[in-house]
Amino acid sequence: MFSTLLFIFGALITLVISQDCVPYSSPYDFSSGYPTVWETPTNNDFNTDEFQQVYNSIDWSQVPDIEPHQVVNGALDSSNYPDSDPDCWWSYKQCTTPNAPGLQPDIAICPEPETWGLTYDDGPNCTHNAFYDFLKENNQKATMFFIGSNVADWPNEAQRALTDGHQICVHTWSHPYMTTLSNEGVLAELYYARKAIKYVCGVTPLCWRPPYGDVDDRVRAIAQQLNLATIIWNLDTNDWDMEPAGSETPDQIDANFQSFVSMGQNGAFANSGCIVLEHELNNGTMSKAIEWYPQIKSAYQYVVPIATCMNITQPYAESNYTYPSFAEYTGTN
């Protein structure tokens, strides 16, 4: 009896603590077999047997020989980059159609007309329960781009995404500019984030989104060999840059959402839909997502995760997990 009470008490404490973003204990051990949480992988990570095996499984002859870019004063340096954009570097001119042979184009739009592709980056967030409750009440699924380090820190919150039926994709281990990393660095960022999601959620994602959209043909080629499709966006709410963490006022973010709602009303997406960049970065961005959802729903015929708008019914490598087709999700033919 006493032990039962103690268990309930413990569970309550865990619940309260997890709501407050205080680290909690979990059965998941990230102290070995992973890079340090929130650190870009280093030689220590590259020199393990496990990583060497992954490295040797890649056909490097299929990966273009492109020099990594530099970050200067906090921004990507394109001063010596040819204007012809030979590497299809998204950060330069939003290129999504690779130049290197054999590479799949990025997924940047939803092919279904009048459709809003719903995506949230940078989770799982330790305070996302109210936001996920809201999505659940609206029977709304989304595509969640999870950072491996956040999955390690907040495994319960990562599991909830799968339980709630959201699509989980990789958003790297530590959220760097991917084109600035060595080949080993790119591979490790993708591999360990995917491994963390598999460890905690039991599924192996088949998609990823580059942080800041920073991808080129070298990074795409490595991702493609890990069976990770590159998903970008064609509308950016700029919620990531909202005050107080960023530099734009909430009014400016509202104006962005309003213009995207107007596009839905005035036929801008009559032939194909959009993929919209939003974030579960903090309470401000999650509140904005909740605030604008009703207007988005009324302006667009369909609001769906990316797997659904791409008609992908098997979103993970595990074949026992299936996802509704577009017609099934939307109840259309």
The DSSP secondary structure of 88-134, one letter per residue, reads --HHHH---S--STTPPPPB-S-SSTTEEEEEEEEE--TT-HHHHHH
Active site (annotated) includes residue 279? yes
> d(Cα 184, Cα 59) in Å, to the nearest integer?
13
> d(Cα 231, Cα 107) in Å, to the nearest integer?
5
> d(Cα 213, Cα 109) in Å, to the nearest integer?
14
Q: Residue 236's beta-bridge partner residues? A: 277
176 binds Zn ion (CB under 5 A): no
Report in angstroms how near the CB of residue 44 gets to Zn ion at its nearest.
Answer: 25
189 binds Zn ion (CB under 5 A): no
| Among 163, 188, 142, CA closest to 34 | 188
Count of alpha carbons within 13 Å of 34, Cβ hemisphere only?
Answer: 26
Report in angstroms how near the CB of residue 87 gets to Zn ion at its nearest.
Answer: 21
x/- track of binding to Zn ion for residues 81-110 (CB under 5 A):
------------------------------
Q: Which is nearer to Zn ion, 89 or 233 (CB)?
A: 233
122 binds Zn ion (CB under 5 A): yes
Residue of 121, 122, 153, 216 marked active site: 121
Q: Which is nearer to Zn ion, 176 or 264 (CB)?
A: 176
Q: Mark the segment that binds Zn ion (CB under 5 A) among 5-13, 120-128, 181-189, 194-202.
A: 120-128
Report in angstroms how near the CB of residue 293 gets to Zn ion at its nearest.
Answer: 20
Residue of 166, 171, 175, 279 marked active site: 279
Distances in Å between the Cα of 234 and the Cα atoms of 119, 194, 231 are 12, 25, 10
211 binds Zn ion (CB under 5 A): yes
121 binds Zn ion (CB under 5 A): yes
The SS3 of residue 230 is strand
Residues of the shown chain interacting with Zn ion in the complex, contacts defined by CB under 5 A: 121-122, 211
Instruction: Provide the annotated active-site residues.
Output: 121, 279
